[in-house]
Structure 1
C-alpha cells in the first residue's frame, strides 16, 4: 500500500474530522474498496485512535438501511467512516449516529484517485464558497436553471433551508457529510418543479453520461426519462422502489469544490465547480417530506442558475 494514500487518509482524519488520540472510529466496509478501508484504518491507528471494522453486504440502492449491527456501531463511536458502494447518507442509521454525537464521513464509491485528488487540500475555501451560496438560497424563493444542453427547469425553494455549510469540515459532535465535500444543496418544495433538465455530466447508478439524459418534470415528479439504454436503466431503478415518490425532485445542489472534477463517480462529480445537480427520491432528512429508500443525483454541466 502506498504511503501517499495513507498520508491522504491521515490528512482527511486530522483536517476534516479533527480525529484525536484515543477516539473510537468505526469503518463501515462493504468490501468493495479494501485498499481504501485499510488505508483509513492504518491512518487512524497511527493517530492513536481505536478502530473497529464492521463488514456489511453491498446494498441494492442508495439510501438502503444497513444491518442493525452496523447502525448500532455507527451510533456508538466517535467517528464513523462509511466506505461503501451505495450511499448511507440519507438513512435512519446515519441520522441516529449523528443525533448521538458521532462525526460521520460518507465516502460512497470513492476511488484512490478521488481520495488523492480531493482529500489532500484545505477545505476552508470550499466551506466559504458553500456558505455564500447557502446564504443566497436561504434568501431566495425560486430557482431557474438553464443550460446549453437544453435544461430549462424551475423549482420553488420558498421556506426551505440550504445545507452543506460545514463544507467538508466535521470536527464537532454530530457533524457529518460527504468526503470529498463541497456543495450547497436544498430540498425543493414538493410538487413545484416543472420543465426539463438534461443530465450531461454523470448520474448515480449510471456513471458518466455518453448520451445525455433528458428528464421532463411535471408537478414535482420526473414524468418522462429519455436517452436510450441509460434512461431505461434509470426508469427501472426508480420503478423498483414501487412508489411514485421515487420520481420526486428531491434536491437541487451546486458544486463548490475546486479540487473535484467530473469523472463518473457521483460522490466527486456533484462537488465539481461549474456544475449543479438534481436528485430524485428521498429528501426527508434535509428539509423535504419524501421518505423512500432511494436517492439518485444527476449532474448538469455549465448551468446558468438564477436564484430569485
Structure 2
C-alpha cells in the first residue's frame, strides 16, 4: 500500500536530518522517537525529514504538532502527555519554543532533592530516561548549513574550552565594543553542547557548538555591550548600535542605548517579571515562588562561548549563539536550576577576550574572538 506524502521536503534536508539522527543522537533500531513541531513550513519540513531518517535507521518515530508557543506560553496537554510516555529520544523542532509545563509549574516533580518544572527536564536531567535535542526557531537554511558538520573537530574544541573552565574561580570578559565584566564560577560545572547526545540524560541544541556555564548567584559585576543579536520574549533584535547593560550583584541594574533594541530588551524583562507575578494572582504560583521567579527575570543566568565554525549571525539566536568568535550572556533562568525564571534571553558579544582565573592563575581561552588554547 502506498500513500501520497503530506510533507514533500527539499532533497537538501536529507543529509542534515540523517546527521542529526545518526551522528548526534546515535539512534538505534526500535527506539521510540517523539518529534514535536508546529504547523509552520520550515519546522514541519525539517520534522518530516527527521521522521524519515529515523525510519531509515529502524526506529519508531511519532510526530506531534501543536500551535506555535512563545517563551511564556504553555505547551498543549497532548504534548505533555506524549512526553510522559518516556520515549527514548525527543526532538523539539519549534518555530519559537516548546512551551511551559502548566501542571509542573504548579506542582514540580522532585527527584534526588531537585525540583523540575517541566516533564522534559524531569525525564532528561532527573530520571535520565530520555535523550534529546531542541531547535527553537530553526530554519531550513540554518539546518542545512550548520547541522551536517565535522563533529569530531567541534567536540575537540568544546572539550578544550570546558577543561579550561572546569574548577575555575572567576571569569573576566572584555571586548572591543566596551564589554568588561567579571563573575564567579566557583562550584559551577561547564555544560557542553557538542552534538554528542548518544546517552540517556544527554541533550542540547542542533545546531550544536557552545560551552556554557551558570555564573555563581549574585556574583556578576560590570558592563556588557551587546553588539550582536538579542533574543526577546518574542523574536530577536539586531541592534544597529550596541545596547549597554549594567550588572550589579548579579542582576541587571540598567539598560541603555540609542537603538530600539534597548527598549525591547527592557520590555522583555518586564514581561518576565509581570508574568511571574500574575501567576501568583491566578494561583499558578504561591507568593514566594512567584516573587522569586520575578526577581530572577533580571539575574545573569548564563555565559556561553560559540564554537560552531559553520554558523553565522543571521538574527536567529539558535544559530547566532553558536557562532565561532562570539560569546553570549543570558538574562533570566540558569542551567543549575537555582535561579528559576520564566524567561531566558540570550544576547551576543562579538570578538571577546575571555580569561578564567584558576588556581590563582589567569588562563586566556579566547583572544579577540580567536580560540588560543
Q: Is the 8 A contact 1:279 1:297 kept in 2?
A: yes
CA distance in 1, matches of 2:99, 2:151: 20
1: CA distance between counterparts of 2:168 and 2:227? 26
Structure 2 residue corresponding to 1:241, chosen from 249, 272, 280: 272
- Cα offsets for 1:65-91 (capped at 9, x unmatched): 523432332342111110113344996
2:186 is the counterpart of 1:176: no
**Equivalent in the alignment of 2:212:** 185
Quote the residue 1:252 is aligned against: 303
For 1:24-81, what per-residue CA distance to the aligned partner results, in whole angstroms no more than 9, with x for missing partners? 111111223222222222222232222211222322317x552343233234211111
1:140-189 Cα deviation digits (max 9, x unpaired):
1111111111101111111111111x511111122111111111111001
Residues 1:272 and 2:323 aligned together: yes
CA distance in 1, matches of 2:337, 2:182: 17
Alignment counterpart, residue 294 of structure 1, candidates 320, 339, 343: 343
Looking at CA atoms only, which structure, 1 or 2, has the larger radius of gyration? 2
Residue number among 72, 76, 80 corresponding to 1:67 in the alignment: 76
Give SS of 1:241's match: helix
SS of the residue 2:90 aligns to: strand
Task: Return the offset for 1:100.
Answer: 4.4
**Relative contact order, higher structure (CA 8 A, sep 6+):** 1
Q: 3-state DSSP class of the match of 2:191?
A: coil
Tell me the equivalent position of 1:115.
Answer: 143
Counterpart residue number, 1:17: 25
Tell me which residue corresponds to 2:123.
97
Give, in angstroms, the shift of residue 93 of structure 1: 2.6
- Counterpart contact for 1:207–1:266, Cα < 8 Å: no
1: CA distance, partners of 2:18 / 2:222: 45
Query: Are 1:38 and 2:89 an aligned pair?
Result: no
Deviation at residue 139 of structure 1 after TM alignment: 2.8
Q: Quick check: 1:201 aligned with 2:201?
A: no
Query: How many residue pairs were aligned?
Result: 304
Tell me if structure 2 keeps the 8 A contact 1:245–1:281.
Answer: yes
Q: What is the RMSD computed on CA atoms of the aligned residues?
A: 1.9
Structure 2 spans left out of the alignment, 5+ residues: 1-8, 101-116, 274-293, 358-373
In the aligned structure 2, how far is the partner of 1:247 from the partner of 1:86?
A: 21
> Where in structure 1 do 4 or more consecutive aligned residues deviate above 4 Å?
88-91
Q: Do 2:167 and 2:188's aligned partners in 1 also have CA atoms closer than 8 Å?
A: no
Aligned equivalents of 2:99 and 2:16: distance in 1?
22
CA deviation string 1:188-225 (max 9, x = no partner): 01111111101111111224332321111111111111
Looking at structure 2, the residues matched to 87 and 231 of structure 1 have their Cα atoms a distance apart, in angstroms, of 23
Q: Is the 8 A contact 2:247 2:254 kept in 1?
A: yes
| Residues 1:221 and 2:218 aligned together | no
1:86 — aligned with what? 96
TM-score, structure 2 as length reference: 0.77
| CA contact 1:71–1:97 (8 Å) conserved in 2 | no
How far apart, CA to CA, are the structure 2 residues paired with 1:111 and 1:255? 19
Cα pair 1:190 1:288 within 8 Å, conserved: no
TM-score normalised to structure 1 length: 0.93
Q: 1:51 to 1:118 in 2, by over 3 A?
A: same
